[in-house]
Amino acid sequence: MFAGALLVVLFSACSEQVADEITVAAATETAEEFISRANVELIDLSRQSGAAGWVRATYITHDTAILAATSQERYAEWHSGMVQQALAYEGQDLSAETQRAIDLLKLGTSLPTPNDAAKRKELTQIATELGGMYGSGQYCMGNDCKSLSDLEEIFIESRDYDELQEAWEGWRTISPPMRGKYARYVELANEGAGELGYGDLGAMWRARYDMSPAEFQNETVRLWEQVKPLYEQLHCAVRAKLGETYGEDKVPQDGPIPAHLLGNMWAQEWGFIYDIMEPYPGVSDLDVDSTLQTKDYSPQEMVRSAENFYVSLGMDRLPDTFWERSQFTKPRDRDVVCHASAWGLDGGNDLRIKMCIKQTYDELRTIYHELGHNYYQSAYKHQPMLFQGGAHAGFHEAIGDTITLSMTPEYLNEVGLIGSAEESEEAVINRQMQVALDKIAFLPFGKLIDEWRWGVFSGEITPQNYNQSWWDLRNKYQGIAPPSERSEDHFDPGAKYHVAGNVSYTRYFLARILQFQFQRSLCEIAGHEGDLASCSIFNNTEAGAKFHAMMAAGQSEPWQDALEKLTGTREMDATAIIDYFAPLMGYLKEQNAGRSCGW
């Protein structure tokens, strides 16, 4: 995840006199002059916004909540005023660059507020409160209180059905108080989106993809259909193994999988149940955790490992300020948001990550991912402020994910993280299972989060059936079910950070598609011979240069143009996933022969 420069901005409210002067100025400005002024103003505004957003995420207190809400409110006022001025240029014959900048200005917030001071203040306060409720959330049994990190450890380590269920239900006690606030947030955000010319907030989010909202929604369906057969085979195999582990009375073999048994609080990635799913036990186990712990890698050393990969592609080292200002570990003296994120502050000149790093391979891969955001932010920092962003949001998430695909056994051996890189056919299947339990298992979850919100924003899903609709979608796409009865007294969507934090989620679904498409093209550029899963672009500056060239364009052009630069095609394509996992697909079909798959 990355923190965008336009999400929160500290900006002094305009007096009526100043507002009038701006209106007059707008009437005398050409569209090009208007965009130039917006870009100049955003340079200073983004610097201040970064400070407000960073402090809120790393010091969750009453005071920082006030600062963050004020920051968002003031940006919302500025943005609303600028959008109103931009309307003066509708219908004019503008250059493609200027028209794109105006369109992006209109879409320059994920939380459009009504053009009313009281409602604007209310919405920004609600957004801040929801994020704070999530960040400080705990499950307490008497005096024994567990944070999200504590509860996640249970999912990683425990195989006790009841203990997992308690942890699952416990975390979801944080979200029912969010329910009323969330309903009001939807009302106000929809009003703000309507004032910008969109039917609702979901339509506004979908409008960011250089196609109509309806076309984009159809595009997500097309991509899902390409990968659905592989997911269904994985689901079938996982359900069978969980039935052996916990008993078929607890995991029926003709229905959805209980959500708390998949090694993750939200059942979004299943890598932590690899011990249950390992196809060939003990064959070439990539035990990076042991190396990290035995050699006592510090968080900074783990980050250096990731930095070294990007440098091997011909990219620059991270600035000194990155090491001085990032949060690498969880402070002992205060609440922070541990959810990993990358920050490109001050127009990409102040790069940071915010994590609570632990000595695990999973955390190491997350670091490689987060630095992808930072290197993307650095690559496009020469662009005007309105063009500083990913070609689309999925691109931003896919950069670092692509790099993690190059963390092959050969690479891990070369950098001293495992002892041997030799792989038998059984070892290849084992490794593909590890990757699939995260990347393939994630796909339906990545799609349904926003599909639920699109329904909420459009009014198809009402506050009266928030939770039922949530579980209907989770059953439809993931084939999972809650471990206990859930009602409308619960608000299970709010127990996921991106819902409480107002972060669109489709980007992660698209990133899972794009990273394999990127990797296939980069491996072709690097001259790799052999199967796609064995390719690492480490130390290949030719592939790195091509990758960086795509990144440097930012969002200055339609994503189709950026994609074509690297892959030679203008269409997102999930067939690279099928290519990558071909060995595993064959294994899964053999294992599932005779089973009743589906739910």
Q: Quick: pLDDT tens for 555-564.
A: 999 999 999 9
- Cβ-based neighbours of 289, under 8 Å, separated by 6 or more: 359, 360, 361
* 231, 366: one domain: yes
- Is residue 269 domain-resident? yes
Domain assignment of residue 97, yes or no: yes
Would residue 197 count as lying in a domain? Answer: no
Q: Which residue type does 532 have?
A: L
Helix (H) or strand (E) holding 438: helix 425-458
The burial class, CB within 10 Å (0-12 / 13-18 / 19+), for 183 is middle
Q: Distance (Å, rounded) from C-alpha 303 to C-alpha 298?
A: 9
| Cβ atoms of residues 117 and 161 within 8 Å | no
509 close to 515: Cβ distance less than 8 angstroms: no
Task: Indicate the residue among 81, 113, 137 that finishes a domain.
Answer: 137
Query: 228 and 122: one domain?
Result: no
Looking at the fold, whether 121 and 262 belong to one and the same domain comes out as no
Residue 305 and residue 421 in one domain: yes
SS3 168: helix
Q: Are residues 402 and 295 in the same domain?
A: yes
Looking at every residue in the chain, the average pLDDT score rounds to 91
Is residue 19, in this structure, part of any structural domain at all? yes
Summarize pLDDT for 209-267 with one digit per residue, the tens: 999 999 999 999 999 999 999 999 999 999 999 999 999 999 999 999 999 999 999 99
Domain that holds residue 476: 220-315+360-592
Instruction: Identify the CA nearest to 418 among candidates 508, 572, 292.
Output: 292
Q: How far apart are CA 189 and CA 130, in angstroms?
A: 14
pLDDT digits (tens, 9 = 90+) for 306-341: 999 999 999 999 999 999 999 999 988 888 888 899
Domain-embedded: residue 178 = no
Domain co-membership, 237 together with 112: no
The answer, yes or no, to whether residue 19 has pLDDT greater than 50, is no
In this structure, are strands 257-258 and 480-481 parallel, antiparallel, or unpaired?
A: parallel
For the cut 90, the answer to whether the pLDDT of residue 300 exceeds it is yes
SS3 139: strand
Asked whether residue 245 falls in the same domain as residue 375, the answer is yes
Locate 301 and state its tokens. 């050393």
Check whether residue 431 and residue 301 sit in a common domain.
Answer: yes
What's the CATH code of the domain at 236? 1.10.1370
| Residue 423 forms part of a structural domain | yes
Give the DSSP H or E segment for 145: strand 144-147
Q: Kindly state whether residues 246 and 385 are assigned to the same domain.
A: yes
Residues 381 and 260 in one domain: yes
3-state class of 341 per DSSP? Answer: strand
Decide which of 95, 112, 137 is a domain's last residue.
137
Residue where a domain stops, chosen among 98, 113, 137 = 137
| Number of separate domains in the chain | 2
- What share of the chain has pLDDT > 70, as a percent? 95
Q: Quick one: how far is CA 328 from the chain centroid?
A: 19
Question: Is 189 part of a structural domain of the chain?
Answer: no
Asked whether residue 115 falls in the same domain as residue 227, the answer is no
For 467-487, what is each residue's pLDDT tens digit?
A: 999 999 999 999 999 999 999
Using the Cα atoms of residue 278, residue 280, residue 281 and residue 286 in order, give the sign of their dihedral: negative
Beta pairing partners, 549: none
Whether residues 288 and 431 fall in one domain: yes
pTM given for the model: 0.86
Torsions phi, psi for 308 (to 5 deg) = -60, -35
| Beta-ladder partners of 334 | none
| Residue 427 counted as domain residue | yes
